[in-house]
Structure 1
């Protein structure tokens, strides 16, 4: 594992991704084209893939920071206040004087499965000149997740400015994998830890074998490839070791944020020098806590969960 001297007061992990207000609708089932269903309940919570993971890491006791953008509207104020409440450094959170903050409309069925609709708002107005490179490079890990629009170009520029000893973790999500491997190549070549689910991996590589795809992606320079397989567990490889673990068996109340919660557990364990297998088990453990509660972060635990790990 790469390491660097950690400077007091600087974040250990910085997240860079979209910030959204999540409007979660509990429905009887997920309706398809020309179908109808009914909404049983609506809840509102703070979201964004990278933000969920960063909040989880903060709950586990790590120093964290966030790079993102919100408008000066009520959702933006709530999103910022939530990060502050969770002890995430917001000194590099961008505030826009115009536009609207991002939001996601989610629909969740009785089995905890979901469909999401994204309204990016000002998330996609971030430019490379808006980012303090020293702030990023003084951290140990930069965790990237997706944007809908032009902020992707800023991420492409940013990865070329990272110091060699900075660990880059990357969860591309469905939006990015649909861009194709060629457009993601610059980020993937710099990535140390790829965190991707099985369906996204199939879309990205065109292969139905997650093991073969993971090995092929390592040829792009990746140190670790982690394939999140939902109810089937997780597969990971670092080129020397392979891990294939089942999930913890718990009742799924809401799958929103499960992959982000896995990222939290994996990155926490990796930074604490756990083995690849232990890091995967840690990811599964945090994800299992997440899906037992509604929303992406309400069920995330503190680091006492590792007392008997």
Structure 2
């Protein structure tokens, strides 16, 4: 029996979020705000925290600067995420600064140690940590070199895998990565990412393209319209619950939470989608990617209300 349910692998960021500005400052001008939040960022952290929040045993894998370890550990501890797969190194943790006015939002990002994550994943130590889990989720673009080295070893260790590369035009447009998509068990893009892969903005185009590429099980996130998946020649569509959305930041990563939870329970393709839609929708009811992640009781009750009693 595996020691963990899931290992989530991806880039680690410290998010510094400034909001409440009436306007963008002119060159050389300082503007002030009382609205500031420091948060743990990156899709990997959101997915890991969401899975832990609904009772899954989860480890987060990534790289961070040694000076930030205690703060990151403390934040993960509030969700129950294991951090023994995080590697502290000399250097800077990735940082994103978000600045919002009433009309717009801008981002400034320093990649930091995340640039070395691919090399770390090639190590025996990293692969050993991953194989402790039943499922390994990658919240990052995997280079072909890393995928060739790592994915066969995960398969040999009976780990299932999923991949959410995010909005990565270069990666999604590179034909060499088709082999990686075939080797991954579940690919989880949204509509914009799917369009980058297939060149057209339609569900039929996406599923035709993934079938031509030889992908075994493909899913498509549709935002407020829910999600679709194609499995064993049949297409499924799940509609999300109606909620009052405040902030959609991290909703796609929260979607991954419910989807992976369904995989771990060996649910049908439709139920996996439904769980994913519940988790993704509920996460939008609070500001910030982590604050809205639903606890187990809410996750289950909304599922029952939306699908079991429909």
Question: TM-score when scaled to structure 1?
Answer: 0.83
CA displacement, residues 30-71 of structure 1 (integer Å, 9 cap, x when unaligned): 98xx9xxx9873322111112211111111111111210100
RMSD over equivalenced CA pairs, Å: 2.9
Segments of 5+ residues of structure 2 without an aligned counterpart are 305-310
- Mark the CA change 1:29 to 1:213 in structure 2 (over 3 Å): closer, same or farther: farther
Q: After superposing the two structures, state which structure 1 stretch, 216-225 or 64-73, moved more.
A: 216-225
Tell me the equivalent position of 1:266.
259
Q: How does 1:269-280 map to 2 (within 5 A)?
A: 269-280=262-273
Q: Give, in whole Å, the separation in 1 of the partners of 2:22 and 2:199.
A: 29
Measured after TM superposition, the shift of residue 191 of structure 1 is 0.8
Q: For the Cα contact (< 8 Å) 2:144–2:177, is it kept in 1?
A: no
- Mark the CA change 1:130 to 1:29 in structure 2 (over 3 Å): closer, same or farther: farther
CA displacement, residues 257-279 of structure 1 (integer Å, 9 cap, x when unaligned): 10000000111122112222221
Q: For the Cα contact (< 8 Å) 2:144–2:180, is it kept in 1?
A: no
Q: How does 1:82-101 map to 2 (within 5 A)?
A: 82-96=75-89, 98-101=90-93
- Mark the CA change 1:80 to 1:157 in structure 2 (over 3 Å): closer, same or farther: farther
Q: How does 1:112-191 map to 2 (within 5 A)?
A: 116-126=107-117, 127=119, 128-129=122-123, 131-146=125-140, 154-155=146-147, 157-164=149-156, 165-175=158-168, 178-191=171-184
Query: Secondary structure of the equivalent of 1:132?
Result: helix
CA displacement, residues 223-280 of structure 1 (integer Å, 9 cap, x when unaligned): 3211112122212111333122333222221111100000001111221122222211
Q: For the Cα contact (< 8 Å) 1:24–1:107, is it kept in 2?
A: yes
- Mark the CA change 1:199 to 1:292 in structure 2 (over 3 Å): closer, same or farther: same
Measured after TM superposition, the shift of residue 11 of structure 1 is 1.4
| Rg larger for | 2
Are 2:261 and 1:255 aligned? no
Q: Give, in whole Å, the separation in 2 of the partners of 1:59 and 1:115.
A: 30
Q: Give, in whole Å, the separation in 2 of the partners of 1:104 and 1:30.
A: 20
Number of positions where the alignment pairs a residue of Structure 1 with one of Structure 2: 293
Q: Give, in whole Å, the separation in 2 of the partners of 1:173 and 1:27.
A: 27
Segments of 5+ residues of structure 1 without an aligned counterpart are 1-5
